[in-house]
Structure 1
Amino acid sequence: MDWERRFDHMQQHSGQHLISAIAEQMFGFKTTSWELGRQRSVIELDTPSVTAEQVEALERSVNEKIRDRVPVTVRELAADDPEVETVRSRGLPDDHVGPVRVVDIKDIDSNLCCGTHVSNLSDLQVIKLLGVEKGKKNKTNLVFLAGNRVLKSIEQSHNTEKGTCGAVHDHVEAVKRLQSSVKLLQKNNLNLLRDIAVLIARDFKSKPAPKQLFVLHRKEGDSEFMNIIANEIGTEETLLFLTVGDEKEAGLFLLAGPVEAVENLGPRVAELLGGKGARKRGRFQGKAAKMSRRGEVQALLQEFISHQSPGA
């Protein structure tokens, strides 16, 4: 027999009886089912919602009962005993024979149950209500821990806190330092992207005979990155097709160049990329959903340029 596991089940089960009884007494919330769970337990309440104030009041009340050291007893009744009708239950199976088992929490609850329970509410130690979740069919799930599970949860949380930010009283300062570091890294990354954009443009312009079409994709870029390149290269004679983001899925694009070419090609480029964009002063930029079709866009632009070239 795994006594530690059995005691855990006793604490959760008796805890459920207590919570269900008090929830019904205080707010009229009936329990329709419950789940033990490996790490946390859940009670399904027949109500569409439970407020935070109700959860707080319920937790306070059940822990008062634990401090009152209320006894928990088990007794058997004949199936035809009239008292069975006064006991909280979901009914007996049609094929039931023999006596029925009743679990009593003195002056709080009497419930038909075949499970094992603690002998006194003090054995529960403490109950922590973790909150509520939306249940099925307009019901609410109330999540809770009882007894040793509360202690284990606190220990896990404390170890996590120590491993992430050190001592608990240092958390605020630790988070501030992390936020400051992130901002600095973001600023440095932005400056590096700007420098890279300028270098890319200068490299293109340094060629003896720059091409009429410039195509570039960079995963880490952004709209500013693309516009810096377009500004540095100039768009009077060169047609630029720039993209940033995922190579096959979503990203951003910029088509820049001679005004007439951009007006003609912009909507077609957006359509090929499965995206939307807007035209402004010789530039057409927007969001794309099908970056994998960049090759098709490049072929379209190359074809356009070849038809514009003298002698084409």
Structure 2
Amino acid sequence: MAFQCQRDCYMKEFVTSVVSCCPAELKHEVNGKKETLKGFNVKLQDTILFPEGGGQPDDHGLIGDVSVVRVTRQGPEAVHFVSSALEEGQQVQVKLDWERRFDHMQQHSGQHLITALADALFGYKTTSWDLGRQRSTIELDTPSVKALLSIDDPAVEKVFYVYNKCDMSCVCDHQVRSRGLPDDHAGPIRIVDIEGVDANMCCGTHVSNLSHLQVIKLLGTEKGKKNKTNLIFLAGNRVLKYAEKSFSAERSLVSLLKTGPDEHVEAVDKLQKSAKLLQKTNLSLLRDMAVLIAQNFKNDPQRGSFFSLHKKEGDNEFMNIIANELNTEETLVFLTVGEEKGPGLFVLAGPSGPVAELGPRVLEILQGKGAGKNGRFQGKANSLARRGEVEALLQQHCKQLTSGEE
């Protein structure tokens, strides 16, 4: 069937009735984490909320005062996942998140137009597309794009007509583009036609006039999979938001770099080269410092059998240089780098027996992960806040060894 959202893509509110409401679960991603939500699957007599399909994400909105989390299609029916139960048979008002819908309409119609022109002008066939949250991508069946498409007049007055046809023979008579129908398709076949440019079977929502696209911006291309190319584009309000965001970033860079926009690349390049030089100098100084620290300890006539050091700015190489310079067959060495009460790195070096015995206990105290062999145990610490406890443990071990020798 054709839903109300397909018959009138611009309808924002709609009154219908609840056909069924059943308990259900939904695997949902929230802030990058997958969660299983408990709720209800609701079927309505009809809907203005588009169920995901044809590369287009689903709509958001309300049924009454209940938020719709997801809309999917099951054969000829749309299933709305909601958090609260709705009474079967009751009349409800469905409200659409129009900003999200219109954005999807602009991107989807823009994709149809770009796909048609890519084929007609350059012979590039579209194999798939992705309507992303910030940008959209069209996968073209070509290893490289020699010329970007040029759309000089995005506000051309061409009308999208929607036809409902009952069988494939009628579709073929209209010479439409198609990658085939879903296995569970039922009801009329829907064709979106850009007069004189393209006709394509599509279940998605579209603008009624190309002037509603406002503007299309082709951002560039990326290498795709299997000798294909991904064409990245923005349509409509996304272009305006992109321009606004770019201008805001440009103003911030002007303030930070103290140069005009045309000199930003050169200024950043100079900063990167300077940072690399400083990093190289810093590493050299750290190596020299590590050698001096080890030598000072070896030259101290009062030195004991235990050496401990923490340095915020160090790294693994810094710690290993110190451990290598010291005679760890006679000295138990405990080194850490990082924030004093935050995460960091550690090295425990010394006689093989004590290191193998004490290493796991050090890991436990520092809440870390690591491993060791041949008299050296090292890894990452989730927290160095209990570093003092490790020192006390190692000092106690050294005292016991000394007492045993005496």
Structure 1 length-normalised TM: 0.61
The correspondence for 1:16, drawn from 102, 106, 111, is 111
1:171 aligns with: 264
Query: Helix, strand or coil for the counterpart of 1:215?
Result: strand
The correspondence for 2:126, drawn from 29, 41, 44, is 29
Name whichever structure is richer in strand by fraction: 2
The correspondence for 1:84, drawn from 166, 171, 176, is 171
Aligned residue identity for 2:114: I
Q: Structure 1 pair 296/79, CA: closer, same or farther in 2 (3 Å)?
A: same
**Residue 159 of structure 1, CA deviation:** 2.2
2:9 aligns with: none
**Residue 34 of structure 1, CA deviation:** 4.9
Aligned residue identity for 1:159: S
Aligned residue identity for 1:17: H
Q: Do the aligned partners of 1:11 and 1:118 also contact (CA within 8 Å) in 2? A: no
**Residue 275 of structure 1, CA deviation:** 2.4
Q: Superposed, which structure 2 residues align to 1:224-303 within 5 Å?
A: 224=318, 227=321, 235=327, 239-245=331-337, 251-253=345-347, 255=349, 262=351, 274-276=370-372, 287-288=378-379, 299=393, 303=397
Q: Which has the higher contact order (CA 8 A, sep 6+)?
A: 1
Q: Structure 1 pair 303/111, CA: closer, same or farther in 2 (3 Å)?
A: closer
Distance, in Å, in 2 between the alignment partners of 1:296 and 1:8 is 57
Percent identical = 31
Per-residue deviation, residues 260-291 of structure 1 (Å, max 9, x unmatched): xx46656666777642456xxxxx55743579
Distance, in Å, in 1 between the alignment partners of 2:271 and 2:124 is 44
Per-residue deviation, residues 168-211 of structure 1 (Å, max 9, x unmatched): 2222442245332564477468648966985798699779x543
Query: Helix, strand or coil for the counterpart of 1:88?
Result: coil
Distance, in Å, in 2 between the alignment partners of 1:145 and 1:220 is 44
Query: Helix, strand or coil for the counterpart of 2:307?
Result: strand
**Residue 14 of structure 1, CA deviation:** 1.8
State the number of aligned residues. Answer: 283
Distance, in Å, in 2 between the alignment partners of 1:123 and 1:237 is 74
Name whichever structure is richer in helix by fraction: 1
1:281 aligns with: none
**Residue 110 of structure 1, CA deviation:** 0.8
Q: Structure 1 pair 121/263, CA: closer, same or farther in 2 (3 Å)?
A: same
Q: Structure 1 pair 50/306, CA: closer, same or farther in 2 (3 Å)?
A: farther
Q: Structure 1 pair 82/177, CA: closer, same or farther in 2 (3 Å)?
A: closer
Structure 2: unaligned runs, 5 residues or longer = 1-11, 13-96, 364-369
Q: Structure 1 pair 151/263, CA: closer, same or farther in 2 (3 Å)?
A: same
Query: Helix, strand or coil for the counterpart of 1:216?
Result: strand
**Residue 150 of structure 1, CA deviation:** 2.4
The correspondence for 1:72, drawn from 135, 142, 159, is 159
The alignment yields a C-alpha RMSD, in angstroms, of: 5.2
Q: Do the aligned partners of 1:88 and 1:111 also contact (CA within 8 Å) in 2? A: yes
Structure 1: unaligned runs, 5 residues or longer = 257-261, 279-283
**Residue 18 of structure 1, CA deviation:** 1.6
Distance, in Å, in 1 between the alignment partners of 2:105 and 2:262 is 36
Q: Do the aligned partners of 2:309 and 2:335 also contact (CA within 8 Å) in 1? A: yes
1:259 aligns with: none
Q: Structure 1 pair 105/224, CA: closer, same or farther in 2 (3 Å)?
A: same
Query: Helix, strand or coil for the counterpart of 2:335?
Result: strand
Per-residue deviation, residues 108-164 of structure 1 (Å, max 9, x unmatched): 3112456342534795533315545879xxx99754212342243133123213313
Further displaced range: 158-167 or 191-200: 191-200
2:186 aligns with: 94
Aligned residue identity for 2:161: V
2:306 aligns with: 213
Aligned residue identity for 2:207: H
Q: Structure 1 pair 134/269, CA: closer, same or farther in 2 (3 Å)?
A: farther
**Residue 230 of structure 1, CA deviation:** 7.8
Aligned residue identity for 1:109: D
1:147 aligns with: 236
**Residue 228 of structure 1, CA deviation:** 5.2
Distance, in Å, in 2 between the alignment partners of 1:237 and 1:103 is 79
